Amino acid sequence: MTAHVIEDDRELAYRRLIELGIALSSERNRSQLLEKILLGAKEMTNADGGTLYLVSDDGQELRFAIMRNDTLNIALGGTTGAPIPFPPVQMRASDGTFNYKSVVATAAVTGETINLADAYNTAGFDFGGPRAFDERTGYHSQSFLTVPLKNHDTEVAGVLQLINARDRDGKTVPFSEEIVPLVEALASQAAVALDNQMLIDAQKNLFRAVLRVFASAIDAKSPYTGGHCHRVPELTNMLARAADQTGEGPFADFHLNDDEWYELEVAGGLHDCGKVTTREFVVDKATKLETIYNRIHEIRTRFEVVKRDAEIDYLRGVMAGGDEPRLRAERDARMAQLNDDFAFVADCNIGSEFMAPEKLARLEGIAAITWQRTLDDRLGLSWEETARQPTPVELLPATEHLLADKHNHIIEHDTAPLAVDNPWGFRIKPPAHKSNLGEVYNLAIRRGTLTDEERYHINDHIVQTIIMLEALPFPKNLRRVPEWAGGHHEKMNGTGYPRGLKRDEMSVPAKIMMIADIFEALSARDRPYKARKKLSDCIDIMARMSREHHIDPDLFELFLKSGVYRAYADIFLLPEQIDDIDIEHYIGHVHPVSVAAAE
């Protein structure tokens, strides 16, 4: 007696085949897809057990993916998470020929279905494995239906093997020939679904790899960014997990599905992609006069020229019969003053102290000192630099100032600045010029080393990030990447950039990434321009930012209560940075009284 189609009803079998085909085409989870393939085939054939094998990437072996047996209550692989303790089936024998002794390898190699009524009484195949299994378990493997999974290119992606068809009384019988076409149809649909899933996974893995390469390239541009583009996505994921799992409070209803987790991963990986447009020498600008190199060397040479002039004036005076002691005293005083003035200029160049009004006045006085240039300053210039030179040409010798803000120090914008009504909604006002390399202008920077133009250029990375991301044709499941990635420089009170968004105008993922970006920057251990901060110092700063309506207070409280801050610190901070923190000191004190009060 043979196994018939379920309930001897061919129409019901076809209907079940259609249902399984629809289910397979819509399944996104790989493990669940594999289970549906095997369990659906078992159900259609009333098989007691079955195994699904997948062809390895190199096409040399069949690997166990999922295994089921009702009699022995075996459930391995798939969603169970239980490993299958059997080695892969080799597609070729030791001599390099195809392994036709294995029934599953033969089905994979030939692409043909193999239906065996009784394995123990079948010649041509080696069933040593099933026999050993039967001896260990007391089971009896009898009927086998082995079907290759062929995709639309007739490539074999795997093999479905069903064991021991059962009749209505539970007796083991051969697999009916009338059910074979249905199982083959299911296997074909399964192969296409599996192929599609593999393509999707391959695309995701490729995109992830591209994101990692892109992030590494951005981080490699400057030691000042370190591993920022790698760590921010990690911290974003950690805080998002905490929000997803909290189950109470402001984030009780916050949950992300698989697509949204991937969307957040992509947004994190691309959150600083606009930094590819940022000039390294601006980001790395350690002194006020630094461009591609530190121009203090030019200034020093000019001071040397003026000192040499003082020496020459002294010698000329002596040769003309002047009072040598008086001339020497004047020379020495002048040189001492120049030495002191240069030391002052060099100190201003460091940018470590605030430039008070009296310092600015002294700087202007030093800039008024003149020297004579006898060489044409247009020789050896690029066409672009020549175009910035003033007209008409100065006659030689020309009087130059020791420190100068010249016409050729001004570099205009390459493209027109963004209009107020720009399509992205940016609200940042660009400076009048792209760059101002003026020496006095740069030395007079009140605090730090960056001019307004340079600070705008650095901040512009988020503008470029949004423009780049919104230009990409993201699929529907990634459509929020630009919004999630482009908001980490906004502030809850609307004073951030580039859009001036307020708290209620931003999504939870965007606000999570904001906290991740800030905390990573504060706690980073690999910034050469600043000392490493203690963990407590970072939390103090962020608590103040919460009170001042810069970051979301609810998320900051979750950041503390969930222990995310400490979990991240244990992974990415140095041991000497990690100190004890009493989070109760911050809980309940991080919430602002009202947003209106801060505006």
How many whole angstroms separate alpha carbon 373 and alpha carbon 393?
13
Does 49 lie in the same domain as 113?
yes
Judgement on whether residues 469 and 572 belong to the same structural domain of the protein: yes
Average pLDDT score over residue span 210-218: 86
377 and 466 fall within a common domain: no
Q: 352, 382, 411 — which closes off a domain?
A: 411
Predicted local distance difference test score (pLDDT) of residue 7? 46
Whether 172 and 260 map to the same domain: the answer is no
Instruction: Collapse the DSSP code of 392 into the 3-class scheme (helix H, G, I; strand E, B; otherwise coil) and give the result.
Output: coil
* Per-residue model confidence as pLDDT tens digits over 466-521: 999 999 999 999 999 999 999 999 999 999 999 999 999 999 999 999 999 999 99
Q: What are phi and psi of 116, to 5 degrees?
A: -115, 125
The DSSP secondary-structure symbol of 274 reads G
Domain termination residue (choose one: 168, 200, 232): 200
Distance CA 45, CA 50 (A): 11
268 and 379 share one domain? no
pLDDT of 195 > 50? The answer is yes
Q: Which pLDDT score is estimated for 369?
A: 92
Q: Which pLDDT score is estimated for 290? A: 82
Residue 500 located in a structural domain: yes
Residue 419 lies in a domain: no
Encode 533-583 in three state secondary structure.
CCHHHHHHHHHHHHHCCCCCHHHHHHHHHCCHHHHHHHHHCCHHHCCCCCH
- For residue 482 the two structure tokens come to 């630009």
State both tokens at 348: 């201003």
Domain residue limits at 404: 296-411
Whether 400 and 273 share a structural domain = no
Are 376 and 456 contained in the same domain?
A: no
In a domain, 240, yes or no: yes
User: Residue 529: its pLDDT value, please?
Assistant: 57
How many angstroms separate the CA atoms of 438 and 432, rounded?
Answer: 14
Interval 43-61 mean pLDDT: 91
Look at residue 354 and tell me if it is in a domain.
yes
For residue 511, how far is the Cα from the chain centroid?
A: 16
Whether residues 365 and 475 fall in one domain? no
pLDDT at residue 591, as a whole number: 55
* Cα–Cα distance for residue pair 328/339, rounded to 1 Å: 16
Which CATH number covers residue 118?
3.30.450.40
pLDDT at 300 exceeding the cut of 80: yes
Q: Is residue 432 assigned to a domain?
A: no
The mean-pLDDT minimum among 21-35, 245-259, 346-360, 569-583 falls in 21-35
Same domain for 191 and 310? no
97 with 246, same domain: the answer is no
Do 264 and 370 lie in one domain? The reply is: no
E strands in 7-141: 47-55, 61-69, 74-77, 89-90, 114-116
Among the candidates 356, 383, 411, a domain finishes at 411
Q: What would the pLDDT profile of 412-469 be if each residue is shown by its tens digit?
A: 888 877 777 788 989 888 898 999 999 999 999 998 889 999 999 989 999 999 999 9
Closest residue by Cα to residue 52 from 69, 31, 67, 42 = 67
Q: What's the pLDDT score for residue 589?
A: 61
Length reported for the chain:
599
- Do the domain assignments include residue 259? yes
519 inside domain? yes
> Where would I find the H helices in 60-102?
none
On whether residue 210 sits in a domain, the answer given is no
- Nearest C-alpha neighbor of 429 from the set 437, 413, 418: 418
Among residues 541, 530, 540, the alpha carbon closest in space to that of 585 is found at 540
Give the number of domains in the chain: 3
pLDDT at position 593: 42
Whole-angstrom distance, CA of residue 425 vs CA of residue 238: 30
**For position 576, what pLDDT does the model report?**
92
| Higher pLDDT among residues 66 and 219, named by residue | 66
pLDDT value at residue 226: 66
Residue 366 backbone phi and psi in degrees, to 5: -65, -40
Model-level pTM? Answer: 0.78
Buried b (16+ CB within 10 A) or exposed e, 140-157: ebbbbbbbbbbbeeeebb
Q: What is the pLDDT of residue 599?
A: 31
- Give the least confident one: 189-193, 483-487, 491-495, 538-542: 189-193
Q: Indicate if 304 and 397 belong to the same structural domain.
A: yes
Would you say residue 574 has pLDDT above 70? yes
Least confident of 23-37, 157-171, 464-478: 23-37
The better pLDDT of the pair 301, 598 is held by 301
